[in-house]
């Protein structure tokens, strides 16, 4: 089996270590990708620090992968050597259940989707994109359009699709008032995408420190949630709120910001449960929903949409020796707006 350089966390809260991992031989339907950049998602941190339950270590995280196709299997029809390609949060699913057939592989009901890391495929644990190369079935690989550079494209593979999908399904567009709660990795993509869809966009951030950036990303309005007046002023304002916050929020206060029949979609995934009094939903007939990444077809649609609208992530590129520091900065909400690991520096 070929081995490649990777960065792994050996235990919860232990610093990253340089290591080597095995990648499978390229099978008939496989694409071997030389990883150029991998984004750091807050989900990597929840998993790596054991916040979502049991994690198997050593863990090589990373599900925002952008790179170049190095080799294709004999039966591969969708990719050619030299093309730009991406891999997101999943590398396999059953492929034949109702959800997979509908292009919603993330909801696979026959065994579930196989996560890019921390999953299990053919009896072996999967390793993510904090690595030099990855081998993936072509059905779970995305085309990265020429208009987006690989570093700015990497975060689209999770942060981009996680916001595009609920904005798309809940009808963000002209005439709709959309709020994005939290302007980190996911949130800043939400602002850019909702604006490109034609919605009127409001950011609800803890403070106004990032207001100038938010407006550049396309926000029409920007409010601090630490300012109690915000909740009075914006009561009943939004058709749609997408909550990207990685920590627990007082949901009742946020639900009060919806118009009647409005919807709040949760994509943030804190480990603690969130409480919602029934009357916060009943009054006004409100919807409280969740959303998980998006299927492969929709992810490709999102990449094409971003290319068409000139949207990439706003990133800070780091070398692998800065992963621990970057994780701490993400947890402190000190990320502008996605860290991306440059894997070309792995062998320096």
> Residues interacting with ligand NAP, by CB under 6 A?
41-43, 46, 158, 162, 182-187, 205-206, 244-247, 267-270, 291-293, 330, 333, 335
With respect to ligand NAP, which residue has the nearer C-beta, 274 or 281?
Answer: 274
Report the residue from 43, 99, 131, 291 that binds Zn ion according to the rule CB under 5 A.
Answer: 43
For residue 147, count other CB atoms closer than 10 A to its CB.
Answer: 15
Report the residue from 158, 193, 264, 296 that binds Zn ion according to the rule CB under 5 A.
Answer: 158
Kindly state the DSSP code that residue 131 receives in the 8-state scheme: B
Q: Which of Zn ion, ligand NAP, none lies near 182, with the C-beta cut-off 5 to 8 A by kind? A: ligand NAP
With respect to Zn ion, which residue has the nearer C-beta, 117 or 288?
Answer: 117
Backbone angles phi, psi at 70, to 5 degrees: -100, -30
Q: Residue 85 Cβ, how far from ligand NAP at the closest point, in Å?
A: 20
CA–CA distance from 73 to each of 56, 137, 138, 154 (Å)?
Answer: 30, 9, 9, 24
Q: Residue 233 Cβ, how far from ligand NAP at the closest point, in Å?
A: 18
With respect to Zn ion, which residue has the nearer C-beta, 118 or 218?
Answer: 118
Q: Which of Zn ion, ligand NAP, none lies near 269, with the C-beta cut-off 5 to 8 A by kind? A: ligand NAP
41 binds Zn ion (CB under 5 A): yes
Encoded tokens for 260: 């009647």
- Which helix (H) or strand (E) segment holds residue 242: the answer is strand 238-243
181 binds Zn ion (CB under 5 A): no
Q: Residue 338 Cβ, how far from ligand NAP at the closest point, in Å?
A: 7
With respect to ligand NAP, which residue has the nearer C-beta, 41 or 199?
Answer: 41
Q: Which residue has the tokens 């593979």?
A: 157
Task: For CA atoms 118, 123, 124, 129, give the dihedral sign.
Answer: negative
Q: Residue 78 Cβ, how far from ligand NAP at the closest point, in Å?
A: 24
Encoded tokens for 278: 């029934």
With respect to Zn ion, which residue has the nearer C-beta, 76 or 148?
Answer: 148
71 close to 81: Cβ distance less than 8 angstroms: yes
Strand, helix or coil at 133? strand
| Cis upstream peptide for 324 (omega within 30°) | no
Q: Environment class of residue 269 by beta-carbon count within 10 Å: exposed (0-12), middle (13-18) or buried (19+)?
A: middle
163 binds Zn ion (CB under 5 A): no
With respect to Zn ion, which residue has the nearer C-beta, 165 or 177?
Answer: 165
With respect to Zn ion, which residue has the nearer C-beta, 69 or 158?
Answer: 158
Q: By rule CB under 5 A, what count of residues binds Zn ion?
A: 3
Distance CA 86, CA 137 (A): 12
Q: Which of ligand NAP, Zn ion, none lies near 267, with the C-beta cut-off 5 to 8 A by kind? A: ligand NAP
Q: Which residue has the tokens 């058709």?
A: 239
Q: Which residues bind Zn ion (CB under 5 A)?
A: 41, 43, 158
């Amino acid at each position: 089996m070929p081995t490649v350089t990777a960065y792994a966390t050996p235990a919860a809260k232990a610093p990253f270590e340089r290591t080597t991992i095995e990648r499978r031989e390229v099978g008939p339907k496989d694409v071997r990708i030389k990883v150029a950049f991998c984004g750091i998602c807050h989900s990597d941190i929840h998993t790596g620090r054991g916040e979502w339950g049991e994690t198997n270590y050593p863990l090589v995280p990373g599900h925002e992968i952008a790179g170049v196709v190095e080799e294709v299997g004999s039966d591969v029809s969708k990719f050619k050597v030299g093309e730009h390609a991406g891999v997101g949060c999943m590398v396999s699913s059953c492929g034949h259940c109702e959800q997979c057939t509908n292009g919603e592989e993330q909801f696979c009901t026959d065994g579930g989707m196989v996560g890019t890391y921390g999953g299990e495929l053919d009896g072996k644990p999967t390793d993510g994109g904090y690595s030099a190369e990855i081998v993936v079935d072509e059905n779970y690989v995305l085309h990265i359009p020429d208009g987006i550079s690989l570093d700015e494209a990497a975060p689209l593979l999770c942060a981009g699709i996680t916001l595009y999908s609920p904005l798309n399904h809940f009808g963000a567009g002209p005439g709709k008032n959309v709020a994005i709660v939290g302007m980190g990795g996911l949130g800043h993509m939400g602002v850019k995408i909702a604006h490109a869809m034609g919605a009127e966009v409001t950011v609800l951030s803890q403070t106004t420190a990032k207001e100038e950036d938010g407006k550049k990303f396309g926000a029409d309005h920007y409010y601090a949630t630490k300012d109690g007046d915000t909740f009075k002023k914006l009561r009943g304002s939004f058709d749609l709120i997408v909550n990207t916050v990685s920590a627990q929020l007082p949901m009742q206060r946020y639900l009060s910001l919806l118009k009647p029949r409005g919807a709040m979609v949760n994509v943030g995934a804190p480990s603690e449960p969130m409480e919602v009094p029934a009357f916060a939903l009943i009054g006004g007939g409100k919807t409280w929903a969740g959303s998980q990444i998006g299927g492969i077809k929709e992810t490709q649609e999102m990449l094409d949409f971003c290319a068409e609208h000139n949207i990439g992530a706003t990133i800070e590129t780091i070398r692998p020796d800065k992963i621990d520091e970057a994780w701490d900065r993400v947890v402190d909400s000190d990320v502008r707006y996605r860290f991306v690991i440059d894997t070309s520096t792995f062998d320096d």
